[in-house]
Structure 1
Amino acid sequence: MTVAAILSGKGHDTITARSEALLSEICETLAKYKIGAVVVCNGDKEIEGIISERDIVRTIGTKGPSSLNVPVTAVMTKEVVTCTEGNSVNEVMARMTQGRFRHMPVVKDGKLTGVISIGDVVKYKIAQVELEAEQMRSYITMA
Structure 2
Amino acid sequence: MKVSDILHAKGSNVLTVTRSDTVAKAVDILGEHNIGVVLVLGDVGELCGILSERDIVRRLRESGSSALEGAVGKCMTPDPFTCDMEATVDELMGIMSQKRIRHMPVVDGGKLVGMISIGDLVKRKIEQAEREAAAMREYIAS
**TM bin (shorter chain):** over 0.9
- 2:129 corresponds in structure 1 to 129
**Cα distance in structure 2, aligned partners of 1:43 and 1:86:** 28
**Cα distance in structure 1, aligned partners of 2:42 and 2:113:** 14
**Cα distance in structure 1, aligned partners of 2:28 and 2:67:** 15
Equivalent residue letter for 2:54: R
Alpha-carbon RMSD: 1.1
- 1:8 corresponds in structure 2 to 8
- Residue 53 (1) aligns with residue 67 (2): no
- 1:23 corresponds in structure 2 to 23
- The 4+ residue runs of structure 1 with deviation greater than 2 A are 42-45
Instruction: Give CA deviations for 1:106-128 in whole Å, capped at 9, x if unaligned.
Output: 00011100001111111111111
Q: Structure 2 unaligned runs (5+)?
A: none
Give % identity.
Answer: 44
User: Could you tell me whether the CA contact under 8 Å between 1:2 and 1:86 is conserved in 2?
Assistant: yes
- Give the drift of 1:45: 4.1
- Give the drift of 1:42: 3.5
- Give the drift of 1:56: 0.5
**Cα distance in structure 1, aligned partners of 2:71 and 2:21:** 6
TM value normalised by structure 2: 0.96
Aligned length: 142
Instruction: Give CA deviations for 1:1-31 in whole Å, capped at 9, x if unaligned.
Output: 1111211111111111111110011000001
SS of match in other structure, 2:78: coil
SS of match in other structure, 1:113: strand
**Cα distance in structure 2, aligned partners of 1:67 and 1:138:** 57
